[in-house]
């Protein structure tokens, strides 16, 4: 015998577990609404507790695309520089020029901050900048000196050959 979609045994178990009032013709609309919400909550609990509905906790680790590697650049600013830091990343031309890919105005953050907020001192903000496997990559970071002279403070990394699936995280202190 079925009572409003539930078998009698489930209805009795529901009323016993949840403490619901059986919705009959002499109950108030508030009691019927409360019973309905309790029934829905019980059904949701019952369906999510089934073994076939269990979902294993999965962690998805981002990976570079095939035949590529990822490079990221973090900048730690000191009092020696002023203004934005220019990040040039790529294959150097015959004249030694490297294409500019970013201009960073903030310093990289450490600790728990970096897990919850976007890091404005890092290029790219998350993940990595894809580069082809086997390319000879050069990275140049530069900024104006803060001592009043018109000099430029510059650091270079490379040229280095990037492997398949490489993840390279670089940190420059200027």
| Structural domain includes residue 143 | yes
Residue 170 gets the label, from left (phi > 0), alpha (psi -120 to 50) or beta, of: beta
pLDDT of residue 23: 47
| Structural domain includes residue 39 | yes
Residues 81 and 17 in one domain: no
Domain of 47 in residue numbering reads as 2-53
Residues 49 and 78 in one domain: no
pLDDT of residue 149: 73
Cα separation, 40 vs 6, whole angstroms: 12
Residues 124 and 85 in one domain: yes
For the chain, which ranges sit under pLDDT 70? 1-37, 40-60, 114
Residues 151 and 112 in one domain: yes
Burial class (CB in 10 A: 0-12, 13-18, 19+), 54: exposed
Burial class (CB in 10 A: 0-12, 13-18, 19+), 128: buried
Long-range contacts of 8-14 (CB under 8 A, 24+ apart): 14/38, 14/39, 14/42
- 9-25 pLDDT, tens digit per residue, is 555 555 555 554 454 55
Domain count, the chain: 2
pTM of this prediction?
A: 0.60
Residues 78 and 139 in one domain: yes
| Structural domain includes residue 63 | no
Residues 159 and 95 in one domain: yes
């Amino acid at each position: 015998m079925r009572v409003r979609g539930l078998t009698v045994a489930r209805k009795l178990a529901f009323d016993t577990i949840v403490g619901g009032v059986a919705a009959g013709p002499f109950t108030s609309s508030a009691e019927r609404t409360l019973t309905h919400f309790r029934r829905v909550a019980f059904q949701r609990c019952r369906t999510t507790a089934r073994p076939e509905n269990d979902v294993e906790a999965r962690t998805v680790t981002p990976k570079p695309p095939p035949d590529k590697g990822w490079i990221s650049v973090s900048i730690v600013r000191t009092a020696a520089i002023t203004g934005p830091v220019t990040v040039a990343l790529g294959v150097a031309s015959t004249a030694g020029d490297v294409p500019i890919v970013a201009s960073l105005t903030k310093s990289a953050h450490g600790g728990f901050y970096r897990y919850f907020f976007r890091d404005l001192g890092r290029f790219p903000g998350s993940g990595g900048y894809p580069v082809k496997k086997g390319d000879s990559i050069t990275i140049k970071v530069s900024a104006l000196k803060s001592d009043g002279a018109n000099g430029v403070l510059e650091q270079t990394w490379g040229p280095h050959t990037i492997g398949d699936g490489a993840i390279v995280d670089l940190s420059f202190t200027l």
